[in-house]
Amino acid sequence: METYEYRSEQDGQRLDLFVAAQLDKLSRSNIQKLIATGNVSVNGKNVKANHRIKYSDLIRVSIPVPQPLTIKPENIPLNILYEDSDIIVINKCRGMIVHPAPGVYSGTLVNALLYHCHDLSGINGIIRPGIVHRLDKDTSGVMVAAKTDAAHLSLAKQISSKTATRCYLAIVNGNISETAGQINGNIGRHPVDRKKMAVLIDKGKPATTLFKTLEHFRQYTLVKCRLLTGRTHQIRVHMAYIGHPLLGDPTYSKCKKPLDKLIMGQALHSYTLQLHHPVTGREMLFTAPIPDDMNHLINILHNEIGCGKNDSAY
């Protein structure tokens, strides 16, 4: 346990801001957690983060020693599309978290990979071994993991340079009039709801999504999306931005309809991944079949109108 003591030299400053000015090695959110867990006191008393300190107050900060983190291998079944000594390609099921995060250290794809592979690239550290790119918890489909650091670097370069291509299938609300289109819009953290992402005008990172209309239904459209960048929640944010949020999306869609209850989360599936093998250079294409839940939704939509405007591209 590290302990620090400070004397306030002014009146009226918020406690969390005062501590942040003294301990720049900690983020404000970490400081607020320390205050909430009773590790910060003012004159021997625990107070809230927004407490206004007074001149000559004694502020004591205790920083617990971090506990070593270990991610355990778990015998979780995997749907493996391809595997060799360098890479493993998975068809991830909807509902599975890709890698551990605060409060979630088991049941993830990483736990399953550690059990199955034993060796994974260490570039992303103990929390995300082997993970080159990720899918949201409730997005299903194909993704690749690296077994060696060399493979990881090669795959990451292919994704950033767009020589590796990723295509998704999505069911979105409303009818898209265009047969194809391109969505450009910087994506960054939502200015109010920090758990969401948003299209930002002057901030965020550049993001581009290409889409192609595959089928029209009464109230929905089936689209194929290709990512030219890899921002958090990119397809979900971009489709909501143009007025067509994904069916079932709990975060970005306000269109609550009966069909939303038939799928866990958003109707989004990572359909194909094309890349060059990191060692042999051979071009490889992997396809994850449309999962049962999305197939069920598509069949319901077909039955509502008799048939859809079918494009055999998917």
Alpha helices in 260-312 (DSSP H): 292-305
Q: What are phi and psi of 16, to 5 degrees?
A: -65, -35
Burial of 284 (0-12, 13-18, 19+ CB in 10 A): middle
The answer for residues whose C-beta is within 8 angstroms of residue 200's C-beta and 6 or more apart is 185, 186, 187, 188, 191
Q: State the maximum Cα–Cα separation within the chain, in Å, rounded to a whole number.
A: 77
Extract the tokens encoding 300: 């319901």
The closest alpha carbon to 211, from 182, 240, 247, belongs to: 182
> Cα separation of 270 and 253, whole Å?
20
- Taking the CB of residue 111, how many other CB atoms lie within 10 A of it? 21
Please name the residue that has the structure tokens 């060059």.
Answer: 276
> With the C-alpha atoms ordered 238, 241, 242, 246, is the resulting torsion angle positive or negative?
positive
The three state secondary structure string of 24-37 is: CCCCHHHHHHHHHC
136 among known catalytic residues? yes
DSSP state letter for 119: -
DSSP state letter for 219: S
Q: Which of 86, 136, 138, 249 is catalytic?
A: 136
Which residues are catalytically annotated?
136
